[in-house]
Amino acid sequence: MANHKDFHKKETYYKQAKVDGYRARSAYKLFDIQKRFNIFRRAFYILDIGCAPGSWLQVAKKYAEENLVRYSDQHYHRDHYKIMGVDIKKTSPIENVNIVKADITKLEIQTKFNLFFQSKLDLILSDASIKKTGNKFTDHLKQLDLCYKIMEIVRNNLKFKGNLILKAFQGSDFVKFTKEVKPLFKILKSYKPMSSKKKSNEIFIIGLQKKN
C-alpha cells in the first residue's frame, strides 16, 4: 500500500512539473525548502551543483529575477543576477544561466567559479547524487564523501551570511557530518521535502547565514 501511495505521489509531482513547465519533479523539493526556510532571500549569485536536468536552475532563475525587484532598497542589492549550474551530465541550455559540464571534484572548477562570479556567492544548491549501488550503507558513505567535497566549495565560495542546500543520505555517519558542518552556519537544519519519496533515505541539509 505504501508503495502505491509513493507511486501516486511521484505521479502527482511529475504531472505538476509538466503543467508548470519544469524539467523534473525535483523542482517541488526546492519550492518546499524555500517555503519553509526562505533560502532565496537576497540571493543574486547562485551556484547549483549537480544541476541536470535543470529544474533547480529554473527555480533559482525565477527567484533571482523576483529578487531584482523585491530587494531594491538600501541593503544588499544587485541590479543583475548570476547563476551557474555544474554537472558531469549534459544539461540543456537555459536563457541567462551559465551551464558547465564539469566534475566539481577537479581543481580547475574553482577557476571557472572565479571567472564567472568574480565574487562570493549568496546561495549554493546541491541536489547532486552519487550513482546508487542499491546498498544503502555503501551509498550513504559514498554520498557523504561527495558532501565533504562539496563543503570545500562552500567554504571557499559562499559569502558571509550566505545559504546552503545540500543533499545527503541518512545513515550511521549523518549526525557526525552535520556536527562538522554546524559551526559554519548560524542555523543548521535537516529537512525531507514533501515531494521526496517516502522510502528514499535522501535528506537535505539547510545551512542558513554562513559565519565568517
Whether residue 167 lies in the annotated active site: yes
Distance spanning both ends of the chain, measured CA to CA: 48
Edge-first strand order for the sheet with 98-101 is 98-101, 82-87, 45-49, 121-126, 158-169, 202-210, 185-191
**Annotated catalytic residue within 167, 182, 199, 211:** 167
Strand runs labelled E in 4-76: 45-49
Task: Supply 31's cell numbers.
Answer: 519550492
Radius of gyration of the chain (CA): 17
The Cα angle at residue 38 between residues 113 and 142, in degrees rounded to 5: 55
At a CB cut-off of 8 Å and minimum separation 6, what does 204 contact? Answer: 29, 33, 165, 166, 167, 168, 190, 191, 192, 193
Q: Cα torsion for 171, 165, 120, 23, to the nearest 10°? A: 120
Which residues have a catalytic role annotated? 167
